[in-house]
Structure 1
Amino acid sequence: MEGIEQVSVTKQRRRAHKSRCLTVASMLLGVLLLISIVVLILAFTVFKAKQPKTKLVSAALDGVSPRISFPVVNIQLNVTLDLQLLVENPNHASFKHGQGKSVLSYRGDQFGEADIPPGNIPARGSATFSSRLVLQLDEMASNIRALIDDVLDGELVVDTRTRIPGRVTFLKVFKKHAVVTSECQFTIEVLALKLQSQKCKSKSKL
Structure 2
Amino acid sequence: MKDKNDQVPYDTKRMTRRRCLIAAWVSLLLLVLLFIIILILALTVFKPKPPRIQLLSVTVDGVAPRVSLPLVQVQLNLTLDLELLVDNQNHASFKRGQGNSLLLYKSNQVGEADILPGLTPAMRSSQLACRLRLEVDELASNLTSLISDVLGGELVMETQTSIPGRISFLGIFRKHMVAKSDCQLTIAIPDMTIRKQTCKHKTWL
State the Cα deviation string for residues 18-56 of structure 1 (Å, max 9, x = none): 211121112112211211121111111222111101211
Q: Which amino acid aligns with 1:138?
A: D
2:107 corresponds to: 108
2:24 corresponds to: 25
2:87 corresponds to: 88
Q: Which consecutive segments of 4 or more residues in structure 1 shift more than 3 A?
A: 6-9
1:173 corresponds to: 172
Q: Which amino acid aligns with 1:82?
A: D
- Structure 1 residue 82: Cα displacement: 1.1
- Structure 1 residue 7: Cα displacement: 7.1
Mapping for residues 104-183 of structure 1, pairs under 5 Å? 104-183=103-182
**SS of the residue aligned with 2:19?**
helix
98 and 7 in structure 1: CA distance in 2 versus 1, 3 angstrom threshold: closer
Q: Quick one: percent identity of the two aligned structures? A: 51
Mapping for residues 29-108 of structure 1, pairs under 5 Å? 29-108=28-107
In the comparison of the two structures, how many residue pairs are matched? 202
TM-score by length of 1: 0.93
2:14 is equivalent to residue 15 of structure 1: yes
7 and 138 in structure 1: CA distance in 2 versus 1, 3 angstrom threshold: closer
Aligned-pair RMSD on alpha carbons? 1.7
Partners of 2:70 and 2:6 lie apart in 1 by: 120
Partners of 1:151 and 1:202 lie apart in 2 by: 29
Partners of 2:113 and 2:102 lie apart in 1 by: 7
- Structure 1 residue 149: Cα displacement: 0.9
TM-score by length of 2: 0.93
